[in-house]
Amino acid sequence: MTRADVPAPGRIAVVAFAQTDHRSADEGHSEVEMLMPVLHEVLDRTGLKTADIGFTCSGSSDYLAGRAFSFTLALDGVGAWPPISESHVETDGAWALYEAWTKLLTGEADTALVYSYGKSSPGSVRDVLTRQLDPYYVAPLWPDAVALAALQTQALIDAGETDEPALAAIAARNRAAATANSHAQLRGSVPQGQYVVRPLRTGDCPPVGDGAAAVILAAGDRARELCPRPAWIRGIDHRIEAHALGLRDLTDSPSARLAAEHAGAFERPVDTAELHAPFSAQEVVLRKALRLGDDVCVNPSGGALAANPVMAAGLIRIGEAAARIGRGESDRALAHATSGPCLQQNLVAVLEGDPR
Amino acid sequence: MPDVLKAPLVLEFPFTRSLGPVQSAFLTGLRERVVLGVRTDDGRTLVPPVEYDPVTAAELRDLVEVAPTGTVTTWAWNHRPRPGQPLGTPFAWVLVRLDGADTALLHALDAPGPDTVRTGLRVRIRWAEERTGAITDIACFEPYDGPAAEPTGHSGTFADPVTGIVTPARLDYTYTPGRAQSAHLQALAERRTVGERCPSCRKVYVPPRGACPTCGVATAEQVEVGPRGTVTTFCIVNIKARNLDIEVPYVYAHIALDGAGLALHGRIGGIPYDQVRMGLRVEPVWTEGARHPDHYRPTGEPDADYDTYKELL
């Protein structure tokens, strides 16, 4: 392969996006069987074949479905022959997209396929996620994902930044928006329900489900060839906070703010934001950290409260923001992904369409 | 589509972890009912203590004792405790800033109900009866309305410090093999071996996984293969596996079933181990109630010509 021209920063774009219909349990299919139609759809949108793709990167976690090396089996769906240039991250696919973006920046590839998938239905994702915690002081207590988000929520309530009615309104707004998103798992009116871990009610928590998503990136003129209106990644950055919850101010997200600053989010206003806030209260934290006013359209897809296929939900935020730009419904959008307990790690991308 | 197969799957790991000097002192302290923090260069006391400053990455070694009493900084009521959690009855998850500490520790609070818990509540440690040097040596916190307890001024040095912990982890899954493997397993139950053909390259995958890894397309056309096949290559196993009742030496082989596009693995029996050879024709031997062939044995046919299986090596 000849070395392509090194693209200028900001001249790498999302040119295609596809996702599954996210459902509570996709029992009839293995992971690769669930993923493959999405890979075909995203390639079809650009007319590219696997052999045309310069770099492939995926995000997933074997712990979700309890299958060792499941990501290597997922590669069967790509068609990795002749041998492809490939990598994998054991986290949300948004970070796989970040790796692919850096690969394109080097000029060694001018297109990249990014995909991620998660089947939460075989296990108990609340408990599975405890295994990512500090193994010395925290994991032996098995604090599940809802419990930790509830601690964050109570801290926000104590700080006077939200209350239960406000949280219910966030949940309702996201799921109302999801009525326009046929891929979403929870759409329309969903009861707030009982406490799961107080102060979080069922309605404040994301649905547990299975799903996959895929994105194609392209650099420079290649992006224009493949897509009528590419979503140019003007900036992208990710930052992480200390793992110890007791060291952090859970009502704020300095990592999200710093990532946004480095991604250039504060240089000009965005019209749209796709936030990866699996729990209602986390949208409160992110709106503040990312300085999103009421004039910004937040989560027109319904966000993670409407569909949260773990490992794919962050990549879907980038895909949804890009698709909105592609449809001419946004000119400048912020996409956010998170990983770890209580928004520990955050990725922010700023996407723009060409002037109309 | 065949019926969806399901089976329980348990992943269980007893993780053995060694401790750094600060972690060792902290967990040994818990065993001795002493709570230690670590002092940062800017004078803050971190509890639970860490080996390196989370801001500056400076190595931290200045241990300082704090009180077993403290204040709740945030909480969440857990009315349905889950396996492995500190209490089996409803409790509050709490972050507690112990008296003398600048950061908070995650644990459980044993309280009568959510109406008795609030941020700012004073609490103290309830020690576990049996302590081994682990975070679970703190059984939980309990409400406490007395004065702050006084630290004993412990140096943080212990005669027999714990140097490692074993943390068992168990996750329960319901395994579902997907469409292609379900069909394969259901055919195996009838002692038939069924693969799937790639619509693009025509290769027949056994066992099928639903996709052709070469072409990246779904396989769907089911093809029954075998039952006879050819040994494409083999090895001689000389070390007895634990929990496996097979006499060594024995032969483990790659077997290309007739009609299959790739070889599968199987044990060869019914022939001395040193007479097994490439090209040997074999057939499966089933035992009562088994889900797959126990082993393969010679059919007595002439050996297969090398050219018939050279692409399947």
**A152: CATH:** 3.40.47.10
Tell me, yes or no, whether B17 and B133 share the same domain. Answer: yes
Q: What local confidence, expressed as pLDDT, does residue A1 receive?
A: 41
Tell me, yes or no, whether A201 and A63 share the same domain. Answer: no
Cβ neighbours of B83 in A, within 8 Å: 127, 142
Q: What is the pLDDT of residues B173-193, one digit of tens each?
A: 999 888 999 999 999 999 999
From the CA of A228, how many Å to the nearest CA of chain B? 27
What is the rounded CA–CA span in Å between residue B19 and residue A353? 51
Tell me, yes or no, whether A80 and A159 share the same domain. Answer: no
Which DSSP symbol is given to B113?
-
Give the total number of structural domains in chain B. Answer: 2
Single residue among A194, A226, A258 that ends a domain in this structure: A226
SS3 A309: coil
**Which structural domain, as residue segments, surrounds residue A336?**
125-207+231-352
Average pLDDT over chain A reads 95
**Is A2 among the domain residues?**
no
Q: Please report where in the chains the tokens 């493959």 appear, as a residue.
A: A36
Residue scoring higher pLDDT (B241 or A23): A23
Question: Which residue from A30, A33, A247 is facing B103, i.e. has the nearest CB?
Answer: A247
Flag if B169 and A27 touch (Cβ within 8 Å): no
**By C-alpha distance, which of B96, B140, B104, B138 is closest to B121?**
B96
Flag if A33 and B178 touch (Cβ within 8 Å): yes
Size of interface A-B (CB pairs under 8 A): 186
Which DSSP symbol is given to A276?
-
Tell me, yes or no, whether B166 and B278 share the same domain. Answer: no
Q: What local confidence, expressed as pLDDT, does residue B1 receive?
A: 46
Which DSSP symbol is given to A229?
S
Q: What is the pLDDT of residues A75-100, one digit of tens each?
A: 999 998 889 999 999 999 999 999 99
User: Please, where are the H alpha helices in A201-351?
Assistant: 220-226, 254-262, 280-289, 303-306, 313-326
**By C-alpha distance, which of A263, A30, A275, A233 is closest to A112?**
A233
SS3 B202: coil
A-interface mutation test, from B1, B55, B74, most A Cβ less than 10 A away: B74
Cβ neighbours of A66 in B, within 8 Å: 9, 11, 171, 173, 175
Flag if B181 and A50 touch (Cβ within 8 Å): no
> What band does A5 get if pLDDT is binned at 50, 70 and 90?
low
Please report, for residues A19, A117, A241, the alpha-carbon distance to residue A125 in angstroms, rounded to integers and kept in the order given: 21, 14, 22
Cβ neighbours of B218 in A, within 8 Å: 33, 36
Q: What local confidence, expressed as pLDDT, does residue B272 receive?
A: 95
Q: State the pTM of this model.
A: 0.95
Residues with Cβ < 8 Å from B12, sequence gap 6 or more? B168, B169, B170, B171
**By C-alpha distance, which of B248, B245, B258, B196 is closest to B222?**
B196
Residue A146: in which H helix or E strand, if any? helix A145-158
> What band does B149 get if pLDDT is binned at 50, 70 and 90?
confident
Flag if A147 and B78 touch (Cβ within 8 Å): yes
What is the rounded CA–CA span in Å between residue B93 and residue B295? 54
Flag if A66 and B171 touch (Cβ within 8 Å): yes
**Which structural domain, as residue segments, surrounds residue B241?**
226-312
Tell me, yes or no, whether B27 and B157 share the same domain. Answer: yes
Question: Which residue from A124, A143, A144 is facing B106, i.e. has the nearest CB?
Answer: A143
Q: Contact, B274 vs B295, CB < 8 A? A: no
- Is the predicted pLDDT of residue A4 greater than 60, yes or no? no
Tell me, yes or no, whether A54 and A193 share the same domain. Answer: no
Question: Which residue from A27, A158, A245 is facing B176, i.e. has the nearest CB?
Answer: A27
From the CA of B97, how many Å to the nearest CA of chain A? 8
Cβ neighbours of B133 in A, within 8 Å: none
DSSP string, A173-227: HHHHHGGG-TT-SS-S-----SEEEBTEEGGGSPPP-EEEEEEEEEEHHHHHHH-
Question: Which residue from A66, A77, A150 is facing B76, i.e. has the nearest CB?
Answer: A150
